[in-house]
Amino acid sequence: MSFKKDFVWGAATASYQIEGAAYEDGKGMNIWDDYCKIPGKILNGDTGDVACDHYHRYKEDVALMKQLGIKAYRFSISWARILPDGTGKVNPKGLEFYKNLVNELKANGITPYATLFHWDYPSKLMEKGGWLNSDSPNWFAEYVKTVVEFFKDDIPNYITFNEPSVVIGCGYVITEHAPGIKLDNYMLVPMAHNILKAHGMAVKIIREFAPKAKIGYAPASNPIIPPNHDANEVEAARKKYFGVNDPINWVWSPSWWGDPIVLGKYPEDGLKILGKYLPKNYEEDLKLINQPIDFYGHNIYQGEYVKEQNGVAVNLPNKVGYPRTAIGWPITPEALYWGPKFLHERYNLPIIITENGLSCHDAVSLDGKVHDPNRIDFLNRYLLQLKKAAEDGADIAGYFQWSLMDNFEWAKGYFDRFGLIYVDYQTQKRTPKDSFYWYSEVIKQNGENL
Ligand code: FCB
């Protein structure tokens, strides 16, 4: 047994992180355009103004995707490029850019997976309170309708939201991402509810205008890893992973963001502490939120090791000198076993890993190549665990490596390099890294060489 025959091997990016062209062709401003202008917010004062200049170089980038051999490409659509004010007037140039990209992908045999929201929220709508405004699901619905009416099934796969936990957690709790406003549960819980409603409305619209398209969602989590695999430990890990019992850390919970969508209800334990912040009619909204979807996407980079103590999973401290990536995230390959396994058990939907990867301190060597053995080793270890999850019965439908190319890593600017392709930001020269050729071989052999 191995990966399915039609396994979706892909790579992912996001609009603000690669496109650049921030002030071109009628694009409106978004909260990342604004946030990058605030001194001290982004490392080295970097911005996404130019990024990888993908807006102008998409043909070269698609040619590289073809060389890589990916079957699918996950990109995101910039809301303010389509609707500069977030609602109202449509920017035809914005639609044209994505149409050209989609056509180029198809001409090269690559299947588009379009994420409708990957964090670049229109500034004009932020002025009205953003996701806190109870009209915000309608604003999102208008944008989604504009996109889907235009593309219909030409985009065969839509992903509604990328990592809503990070939208709220990093944007409004930790405040290291745009808009960087500290809020508490009075506002955070209704905001999360509005995002879930917006997801439900988007799914309905996609079903109406693109009935053949597949629909997914791309939340994120750090799976809980029971290292000894014994039954009690596994059960304790499962409980911890899906438990919602902390008035601050609920924002990172996979079940708060997943259960309403797939199971049509908020997790009981979470309701005990957070129910009082939900709008009065929230149960009615759950019908809207609980639209059938076709696959459960999940972004997984790292997990947490635990031990079982009296039925409870307790975090194990990181060992001295534990392996970690350049950005500092622990290397925990089993996260790609336990995460998909637990999620598949709970939601019973095909699982697609919509992001996984690492940052390294990559550089162009004297020989003109980019040698990144750490990335190859990381991906190899994680993919072996994913393969094991599939062998043990989880329905794993695809895997998107983050990222196709080095790009603007939010608050860390250009300091961290996540790509299979090295980008020289001075010249915009692209250099495929060693991992690019390695991943290409994995795809060719459908993971048999892992
Ligand atoms: C995820 C984001 C993605 C990228 C990776 C490294 O949280 O979805 O845009 O920044 O982390």
The backbone region for 319, taken as left when phi is positive above 0, alpha when psi lies in -120 to 50, beta otherwise, is beta
Taking only the tens place, the pLDDT of each residue in 408-433 is 999 999 999 999 999 999 999 999 99
Q: What is the pLDDT of residue 1?
A: 59
324 assigned to some structural domain: no
**CATH number of the domain within which 152 lies:** 3.20.20.80
375 assigned to some structural domain: yes
What would the mean pLDDT of 124-147 be, rounded to a whole number? 98
Residue 415 C-alpha to ligand 1 middle, in angstroms?
A: 14
Q: Is 96 assigned a catalytic role?
A: no
Collapse the DSSP code of 272 into the 3-class scheme (helix H, G, I; strand E, B; otherwise coil) and give the result: helix
Number of domains in the chain: 1
What are residue 315's phi and psi, to 5 degrees? -60, 135
What would the mean pLDDT of 425-444 be, rounded to a whole number? 98
Taking only the tens place, the pLDDT of each residue in 274-328 is 999 999 999 999 999 999 999 999 999 999 999 999 999 999 999 999 999 999 9
234 assigned to some structural domain: no
Q: Does the structure show a pLDDT above 70 at 257? A: yes
Q: Does the structure show a pLDDT above 80 at 57? A: yes
Q: What is the pLDDT of residue 117?
A: 99
87 assigned to some structural domain: yes
Q: Is 355 in the pocket of ligand 1 (CB under 6 A)?
A: yes
* Residue 8, both tokens: 């979706």
Out of 104, 304, 334, 355, the active site residue is 355
Q: Does the structure show a pLDDT above 70 at 39? A: yes
Q: Is 14 in the pocket of ligand 1 (CB under 6 A)?
A: yes
Q: Is 165 in the pocket of ligand 1 (CB under 6 A)?
A: no
255 assigned to some structural domain: yes
Identify the sign of the CA torsion 117, 119, 122, 125. positive
Residue 308 C-alpha to ligand 1 middle, in angstroms?
A: 31
Pocket test for ligand 1, best of 32, 327, 400, 402 (most atoms within 8 A of CB): 402
Q: Is 355 assigned a catalytic role?
A: yes
Q: What is the pLDDT of residue 11?
A: 99
Taking only the tens place, the pLDDT of each residue in 68-82 is 999 999 999 999 999
Q: What is the pLDDT of residue 2?
A: 84
Residue 310 C-alpha to ligand 1 middle, in angstroms?
A: 36
Percentage of residues of the chain with pLDDT beyond 70:
100
Q: Is 252 in the pocket of ligand 1 (CB under 6 A)?
A: no
What would the mean pLDDT of 223-245 be, rounded to a whole number? 97
DSSP 8-state secondary structure symbol assigned to residue 172: I
Q: Is 418 in the pocket of ligand 1 (CB under 6 A)?
A: yes
Out of 19, 104, 163, 233, the active site residue is 163
What would the mean pLDDT of 380-388 be, rounded to a whole number? 98
- Return the number of other C-beta atoms located less than 10 Å from residue 441's C-beta: 11
305 assigned to some structural domain: no
Residue 202 C-alpha to ligand 1 middle, in angstroms?
A: 22
Sequence-distant contacts of 37-42: CB under 8 A, at least 24 apart: 38/180, 41/180, 41/411, 42/410, 42/411, 42/412, 42/413
Domain extent for 400: 8-224+245-300+332-444
Q: What is the pLDDT of residue 124?
A: 98
Kindly provide the b/e burial profile for residues 47-78, where b requires at least 16 CB atoms within 10 angstroms of the residue's own CB: bbebbbbbbebbeebbebbeebbbebbbbbbb
Helix (H) or strand (E) holding 434: helix 434-444
Q: What is the pLDDT of residue 385?
A: 98
Contact 306, 315 (CB under 8 A): yes
Residue 388 C-alpha to ligand 1 middle, in angstroms?
A: 25
25 assigned to some structural domain: yes
318 assigned to some structural domain: no
Collapse the DSSP code of 253 into the 3-class scheme (helix H, G, I; strand E, B; otherwise coil) and give the result: coil
What are residue 437's phi and psi, to 5 degrees? -70, -35
